[in-house]
A and B are shown apart, each in its own frame.
Chain A
Amino acid sequence: SQQGEEDPQALSIQEGENATMNCSYKTSINNLQWYRQNSGRGLVHLILIRSNEREKHSGRLRVTLDTSKKSSSLLITASRAADTASYFCATDAIGNSNDYKLSFGAGTTVTVRA
């Protein structure tokens, strides 16, 4: 089942603009991860934020996490054509310490126009 739900489903922006996408989830988590998928390729891990963290940066990426609202956002600053991809959030649920599976959302498709 998909715990994470991304919003919007699709986003089209001009090169140089910022792109923001959101993820909401249902159950308590250990951490939340964001992945990118280029067309015809597998998912690539971008960033992981733990449940006790509120914000994390990696290059042009900024992730926030609000556990009280069960939501996260991914901001891509100064977008480039190469950022065109689908972006997925993934969560692991608090529970069995031997259960490390992730639940992925449906993804946000980002198109960066040159």
Chain B
Amino acid sequence: AQRVTQPEKLLSVFKGAPVELKCNYSYSGSPELFWYVQYSRQRLQLLLRHISRESIKGFTADLNKGETSFHLKKPFAQEEDSAMYYCALSGESGANSKLTFGKGITLSVRP
């Protein structure tokens, strides 16, 4: 069974502080990992995916297969980063691509 764990519900930081949103997963195989974000009154949207190894809006995430983790990091948080963040997993590309989500974490960036 595939499972995604986000151990914290809320992270509150001041503007300019570093951010790390934790995500651990369970999957027997080679999963695809994603971070989705939902800003206030907006729909869920993809932030980044591990396979592309890109930085989006200053966020990065590295897949650590040994620790089965995919933590989201940003060195200097901005107020506009305040949102709900979900870590998600799907099976190997080409297989069933349904997403399994974590419970999400609210990031609050204070001025």
- Note whether A and B form a binding pair: no
